Amino acid sequence: MSATVGQPRQFCTLGGQQSVVAIERAIPIVHGGPGCSGKIFGGLSFFNGFQGSGYAGGNAVPGTNGCERDIIFGGEQRLREVIDGALKVMDGDLFVVLTGCTADLVGDDTATVVSEYRERGVPIVHASTGGFKGYNHLGHELVVKAIIEQLLKPAKAINPKLVNVWSVVPYQDTFWAGNLKAIRELLEGIGLEANILFGHDSGGIGAWKRIPEAASNLVLSPWVGLSIAEVLHQRFGTPVLHYPVLPIGAVETTRFLRTVAEFAQLPFQPVEDFILKREGNFYHFLDRAADFFMEMRWDLPGRFINISDSIYALGVSRFLVNELSLHPAQQVVTDEPPEEHRETIRRNFAELKERVSAEVIFSNDSDTIGRQLRKTGYDLPPLIIGSSWDRDLAREMGGFHLSIAMPVMDRLVLDRSYVGYEGGLRLIEDIYASVLGTY
Amino acid sequence: MSTILQHPRHLCALGGQQSVVAIPRAIPILHAGPGCGFKLHTGLGSYNGFQGGCYSGGAALVGTNVGEKEIVFGGEQRLREVIDGALKVMDGDLYVVLSGCATDLVGDDIENVVTQYRRQGAPIVYAATGGFRGSNLHGHETIVNAIVDQLLTPQEKISGLVNVWSTVPYYDPFWAGNLTAIQDLLAGLGLRTNLLFGPDSDGIDSWRRVPAAELNLVVSSWTGLSTAKLLNERYGTPWLHWPTLPIGGKETSRFLRAVTEAAHVDGQATQAFLDRQEKRYHYYFERAADFFLEFRWDLPSHYVTVTDAFYGTGISRLLSGEFGLLPLRHFVTDQPPLEQHEAIQQQFAVLSSELNAPLTFTADGDQITAELREHPDSAPLILGSAWERDIAAELSACHLSIASPMMDRLVASGSYFGYNGALRLIEDIYSMILSAVQ
Amino acid sequence: MSVEQQIRQRDAANSGTGVQIRERRLGSITGFVGTAGELVQIARAGELAERERSFTQAGTCSSFCATLQLSLIQDAVVINHAPAGCAGDFPMFNLYNRYGQGKRNLARQNARLLTTNLNEQDTIFGATHKLVDAIHKAFRAFQPKAIFVTASCTSGIIGEDLESVIEEAEQELGIPIASVNCEGFRSQIWATGWDAAYNSILRKIVRPPLQRQLDTINIITFIGDDYFSELLQPIGLKPNLVVPFTGVKQLERLSEAGATAHMCSTLGTFLAAGLEREYGVPEVKSPPPYGLDSTDRWLREVANLTGKGAQVEPFIAAERAAIAPQLEIHRQRFAGRKAFVAAGPSHGHSSMEVLQDLGFDLVGSCMFHHDARLDHGDPTGDSLQAATRHTPGLSYGVCNKQAFELVNLLRRIQPDLVVVRHPSLALSIAKLGIPAVFVDDEHIALGYRGLLRYAHKLANWLANPALERTLARTTKLPYTHWWLNQPPFSMLGEPR
């Protein structure tokens, strides 16, 4: 059920537009109303870490800007006009037509229009992403599946070292660009080749065409991406490794790398050497910061509360518990995972560490979240890791706050990442910067 | 002439103790009063990015804690006691004895004491770091040169090996991350770095390797130059001095080209590496541009630097040379030797004749405040130490702490060096501005 | 039934509550190429015809504009009856809100914005029950003085009956609740959103005057700092900046002012005309006070309407004299520099006047739409004519914010400066290496002193175009060589 939401933390299916923007030299084409694309850009990209337009995003996105006439008479002809124009005007390697509410509600046969172009050899696909269908996590998956189903062909040979990575959702995760880069570096460090598919230097359509060559699909998130891996398994037989916790800090990253190494049957020693070196660096700095944790004279945060997508809520919780020995209060998961995935998520929160567990509530409505969290008293200032919407709540509760979840309106984010060994150090710095900055 | 300092930005020569702490498995031994080590630890470490004591610093610092007795009767015996104990109790590879004001003033012959231990085979050196001798930057140099002088012996040259002498550990809160960044960048050129400080250093082994390097790379404003000259005299190693922080696309590439030439690396391979790095950097530069061009509220058009010359020049070149900001004033606070002043002035002036701003050499907070008050309506971006928070508030300016002392940030491996360092700095500056007004 | 008839039917159904779209009400268009003088003439003659583009890039919709105004009313709540994506602009409005609160010494708190989050089921079975829930939720959480329910493409297409829900809720809760007919697809002119928002305010909030406040001037504007006081206080008047950062009580009393004036007549036309029509509050019809001549004219009209004729002439003379020396310095500094304006009317026209007064050589302009007339119908309000009274031959286009056209055009013209409004365009221009100044605070350039303020801002921006140069050197625009070699407006169809 999609209830009314105050202060939204996700947008509609058409948000998949941003996943297209994240693919190198891909061009989204929006067949919808005149305001959709700009609103999505504003909410998912600009006022979310001030992530910029990108190559063909922002005001460059071609769109049919549907008007009354298109509603009454249908917009297929208009769509053809805009696709024709886009193919001439926009310099791209892949075109993805996304439908908005208007086109889907009035029943435009976008699939047929687009397939006409594809049959003529144009690299163009279509995704039915009318906003009312769901949230932008769904939109992301729909866009990905559309490319897979409409463009990819079975591989001639499998590359044993190649792994496709299905992890953070571009733009929805404000730190997606740095995170994907960090994931790639980690996997390369243990001897694999990671096909990250989104972001700078990810290879564009060439990389997407290599998807069927991969020896495995790594789903590195609690639930988003599982259905993509399922489709790939059915089509190309590629095995799936599901690791539901985003690796932040040494404990989790080491566990992650060993799990992947075992799955990929990598030789033992090089993996361990890599892990040892990285752990050494991480713990050097954790040790260095320990003076601060032990001896800071004023209120350091007591319990922590995550108010974010399941991928961050879980990953950050594991990190804070395992590396900083902080204690969890209630955790709030805001990305509305489908029912069938909630049990796994609950279980992961229950097993953060031996004898440390956290209760989790699923809600994306600020009013509900606020009322729930205010029920508890806190003797030490709580640390709230959420979105910018939660600044006031943190202040009200006398706590500290760091924005990492969409929308991040109070930070400029470039390639910062919280993934991996180095990412854990960055998170420590940022959390305590926000604590220290209040003095 | 050293003036009175309000809100000082550097400490005394004994502060070089932190440079010893920064060498893996090196043990500082202070022959000084009971409070020095702790004060210097809090001022250069704890309340400067909350850099902790690590292996041998903080509460682990070894010291003679000289009292009335040693002042009156001399402290050499005391020193021997403590060195004996340190050699037994402290698990280290290198021991560095440092003198404080008290022991230097009363004339203990520490050099003699230490030399005797060294003759017996202990890896131990001594540096004269009585606080009155100068700032902790001088202390750092003194210590480095002492280790070079007393410990090193000729080695066979190793091809492609480069010693890196960069910013003063702990004093520059980002020193550790910077060294890793330099290592990664030079690796991209196919060079192997010999780091003397920080977690990527091999400690005493790295020091012993110093004479084997083909090049000494001095990446700092002025500290390290005397070391490079010493090494050139002793071992014939050439050096390259790069006095400005390489930060951002233009400057980092310029730096790497200079290193390529000095280290006789294949230019084409370097260019390929630079191309990849620049491409990635400009992807994020472009991404940030939307924000710079279209953020609705007052972003500062002018900036002030209150840092050492290394950071001041580097950051100016990034903000003015790549992002179009205008410099309002520069303050150089690390008290460089007088003979460096002209060169430093030229380094700041390089951007263009219209983009010059007044430059003051001072470490005195009172003078800095007074001069900034001459711009009451400017509301600039102030990049300096945490002392500058008040004047920033007074001028309705935005402020980010990037220089010592930094009491308002925790620094782990963060760095502003190189291509990535620029992105990190831009994120930090503008996130601070964004957060302050919401 | 023809499209025309269908649209008229829908309009008639809405006419009890909704506002008519600009295409019909004001003859507005989104495509034109020619000169400023030609456009003025054709529009005046009632012969302005739309030219449509085959290829388009994403625009902006009425929903965005309506919500922008309403979300900043401090004690109201906005409920967007839509799927979650239409709330994509909520974070932006929240930032505007918190920044503005800070500047005005109001307590910082999140903007009060909800979405009914329509899903597939709702589109089949309807979702008025959700709207009922949302209204109650909003009332409980915020105790607002008013609630605005903004429509969406989806709510419009599936035929949600907002009015019945609202009527019942109003009776139960005792506060005004207004629907806002800003469905995105209704209009290609996103400014229709302003009209829809103001229509709701006129219908449900504004009350008959209790007492006239003749020395108060309503100024219909966005969120800029208050520079209007500079112009009005010296002649014994005070500005009432509306609608952002007002409260419902303040809006109830819009009818009491001595006059209504504009920061941008395209923005406020519907509201000002409505206040005059229903409450006799006279509308200042001269173009807004940007540039010397327009500021003189505006002040004189304001003074005339409020009986301040005696004060105004000495004030004008004194201000002009006070800024003259500095202005001359700036004119010399900017002499010969080529400028271009890409913005919405009429604020874009105001920018044109300012740039000309500062000595720039205006080489062209491209506005995002054009209204053939304003609601008051009086030709003295023609801001384009005012801005180009000495330069009717100025190259002029109407480009609906289409970046591919602007980039193509500017690449050929290569001005030294582009003044640009609307998010995401400044980047495209900067990537050409051309300095692009984004219009953030709309008020900064107004009046006499504003010329100096703005000159200072422009001088700072032009002093070091390193950002634009680096972008030009290191980035690629997403257009084909083929397109960049075509005439800029070759995708524009013939007049309909």
Question: Which of A12, A37, A130 minimises the CB distance to C58?
Answer: A37
Residue A58 backbone class (left: φ over 0; alpha: ψ -120 to 50; beta: rest): left
Query: What is the DSSP annotation of B321-385?
Result: HTT--EEEEEEE-S---GGGHHHHHHHHTTS-GGG---EEE---HHHHHHHHTT-TT---EEEE-
Q: Is C109 on the interface with B (CB under 8 A)?
A: no
A108 is in which domain, residue-wise? 13-151
Let me know the angle formed at the C-alpha of A207 by A203 and A208, rounded to the nearest 5 degrees.
Answer: 130
> What's the total number of domains in chain A?
3
Asked if pLDDT for residue C157 goes beyond 70, the answer is yes
pLDDT above 50 (res B336): yes
A303 and A403 housed in the same domain: yes
Exposed/middle/buried for residue A74 (C-beta within 10 Å: 0-12, 13-18, 19+): middle
Of all residues in chain B, the one with the smallest CA distance to A288 is B52
Which residue among C87, C187, C427 sits closest to A52, beta carbon to beta carbon?
C427
* A298 and A432 within one domain: yes
pLDDT at C117: 86
CATH architecture of B161-262: 3-Layer(aba) Sandwich (3.40)
Superfamily of the domain at C326-495: Nitrogenase molybdenum iron protein domain (3.40.50.1980)
Angle, vertex CA B157, rays to CA B152 and CA B160, nearest 5 = 120
| C85 to A69: CB separation less than 8 angstroms, yes or no | no
Q: What's chain C's average pLDDT?
A: 92
Q: What is the pLDDT of residues B143-160, one digit of tens each?
A: 999 999 999 999 999 999
Superfamily designation of domain B13-151? Nitrogenase molybdenum iron protein domain (3.40.50.1980)
B13-151 and B287-436 share one fold: yes
Residues of C in contact with B321 (CB under 8 A): 466
A36 touches chain B (CB under 8 A): no
C10 pLDDT tier (thresholds 50, 70, 90):
low
pLDDT surpassing 80 at residue C2 = no
Phi, psi dihedrals of residue A340, rounded to the nearest 5°: -65, -15
Domain of A102: which CATH number?
Answer: 3.40.50.1980
Last-in-domain residue among A127, A151, A175:
A151
Please indicate whether the domains covering C3-28+59-204 and C326-495 agree at the CATH topology level: yes
To the nearest 10 degrees (0 to 180), the angle between helices B267-294 and B418-436 is 10
Q: How far apart are CA C26 and CA B411, in angstroms?
A: 60
Q: Is residue A288 part of a domain?
A: no
Q: Tell me, yes or no, whether A358 lies in a domain.
A: yes
Quick one: which of B296, B297, B288, B299 has its CA closest to B380? B299
Tokens representing A79 are 């769509």
Q: Is the pLDDT of residue B372 over 80?
A: yes
Strands A5-6 and C113-115: antiparallel
Secondary structure of residue A268 in the 3-state scheme: helix
| Regions of chain A short of the pLDDT cut 70 | 1-2, 296-299, 439
Q: Which of A181, A282, A415, A422 to substitute to test the interface with B, most B CBs within 10 Å? A: A415
Same domain, yes or no: A44 and A132: yes
Cα-Cα-Cα-Cα dihedral sign, residues A348, A351, A353, A359: positive
What confidence score (pLDDT) does residue C7 get?
53
Chain A interface mutation, best of C52, C53, C114, C185, highest count of A Cβ atoms under 10 Å: C185
Is CATH 3.40.50.1980 what the domain over B287-436 is classified as, yes or no?
Answer: yes
Q: Are A46 and A144 in a shared domain?
A: yes
Query: Which residue has better confidence, B29 or C92?
Result: B29
Report the distance separating Cα C296 and Cα C317, nearest Å.
Answer: 9
Q: What band does B352 get if pLDDT is binned at 50, 70 and 90?
A: low
Domain boundaries, chain C: 3-28+59-204, 213-306, 326-495
Comparing CA positions, the residue from C160, C171, C93, C98 lying closest to residue C124 is C160
User: Domain-by-domain residue ranges, chain B?
Assistant: 13-151, 161-262, 287-436
Each residue of B59-110: pLDDT tens digit?
Answer: 788 888 888 888 888 889 999 999 998 888 888 999 999 998 888 888 889 9
- A210 inside domain: yes
Q: Which of A129-138, B360-369, C383-392 has the lowest mean pLDDT?
A: B360-369
- Give me the pLDDT at residue B53, please: 81
Residues A352 and A393 in one domain: yes
Nearest residue, CB atoms, C59 vs list A5, A13, A63? A63
> Confidence class of residue B1 from pLDDT cuts 50, 70 and 90?
very low
pLDDT score recorded for residue C338:
97
**A141 and A246 in a common domain:** no
| pLDDT tens digits for range C173-187 | 999 999 999 998 888
> Is the confidence at residue B19, as pLDDT, over 70?
yes
pLDDT over threshold 60, residue B2: no
A8, A389, A409 member nearest C84 (Cβ): A8
**pLDDT per position as a tens digit, A168-199:** 999 999 999 999 999 999 999 999 999 999 99
Asked whether residue A102 falls in the same domain as residue A203, the answer is no
Q: Which CATH architecture has domain C3-28+59-204?
A: 3-Layer(aba) Sandwich (3.40)
Residue C343 has pLDDT above 60, yes or no: yes
As given in the structure block, the two tokens for residue B362 are: 């001072």
Q: Does domain C213-306 match CATH 3.40.50.1980?
A: yes
Q: Provide the shortest C-alpha distance from residue A273 to chain C (in Å).
A: 38
Q: B402 forms bridges with which residues in the sheet? A: none
